[in-house]
Amino acid sequence: MLGFHRKKKLPPPACEGRLKHIAFIMDGNGRWAKKRGMPRTFGHKQGAEAMRRLVRHCGDIGIKTATVYAFSTENWSRPQEEVDTIMLILERYLDEAFTLLDVENVRYVFLGDKARLPATLREKAIELERVSREKPLTLNIALNYGARAEIVHACNALIAEGKSEITEDDLSGKLYTHESPDPDLVVRTGGDVRLSNFLLWQSAYAELCFTKTLWPDLTNDDLDEIIRDFLTRHRRFGGL
């Protein structure tokens, strides 16, 4: 669990080639709002702002792929008003993404089953994927996403192709993330130390970072410090 006790400001870490893919479990929005006497949904709005800022920062420091856990297959069980507000925030976020298309270098990819999303959100997600296809930086937004469901979905796709025996590459090739490299680093804010059904296959060799900082409070400097720590780690991928 990383704490932030910064002494002097350091230059941002250079990630090019050393950290290709970072993934975020954006936890703590509800608590952030509650601490301020505000409804949980206010925390999600701030969470979306924080996400925009942090994802931009990732691009600025040379990270080509970022993935965010926006809404899990389990999140549907939250109060209807909270679910509706999150869907609305997402839709506004996508609207803004369309207006920023000419100035941003971001390719949007949605991980998860789109079938259950509200129709307008689903249509915007599909269109945004289409129009941003050629952009050099990738933002994967996990939406109605669960890692176990993703693996089952991939297996069923392979069965439908008539496969009777499969390789790891076959399976990776059918995951929602098939166009992204595996994450090098998974960051979870909000203090819990678990993966909550997020990128379970892809994170087999990822470095993990857990911080107590609530998602809307995570600053660009905090992220730089997390990444500096990551860059000092010796990744062995099962070797010596």
d(CA 158, CA 161): 5
Q: Applying CB under 6 A, does 44 fall inside the site for ligand FPP?
A: yes
Helix (H, G, I), strand (E, B) or coil at 90: helix
Asked whether 139 and 107 are in contact (CB, 8 A), the reply is yes
Q: Is 30 in the site for ligand FPP (CB under 6 A)?
A: yes
Report H helices in the chain. Answer: 29-35, 40-60, 80-99, 119-131, 147-160, 168-172, 220-232
* Contact call for residue 70 and ligand FPP (CB under 6 A): yes
Among 23, 24, 29, 185, binds ligand FPP (CB under 6 A): 29
166 contacts 150 by C-beta, under 8 angstroms: no
Window 76-95: residues binding ligand FPP (CB under 6 A) = 86, 89-90, 93
Q: How far is the CB of 141 from ligand FPP (least distance, A)?
A: 5
Name the minimum Å distance from CB 150 to ligand FPP.
17
Residues paired with residue 151 on neighbouring β-strands, in sequence order: none
Q: Is 75 a catalytic residue?
A: yes
Q: Give me Rg for the CA atoms of the chain.
A: 18
Q: Which of residues 94-153 bind ligand FPP (CB under 6 A)?
A: 141
Minimum CB distance to ligand FPP, residue 24 (Å): 9
Chain centroid, CA 207 distance in Å:
15
The answer to whether residue 47 forms part of the interface with ligand FPP (CB under 6 A) is yes
Q: How far apart are CA 196 and CA 200, in angstroms?
A: 9
User: How far is 16 from 229, CA to CA, in rounded Å?
Assistant: 16
Is 197 tagged catalytic?
no
Q: Does 223 bind ligand FPP (CB under 6 A)?
A: no
27 near ligand FPP, judged by CB under 6 A: yes
Q: Which is nearer to ligand FPP, 26 or 185 (CB)?
A: 26
Point out the residues that are catalytic. 27, 75
- Interface residues with ligand FPP (CB under 6 A) are 26-31, 44, 47-48, 51, 68, 70-71, 75, 86, 89-90, 93, 141, 190
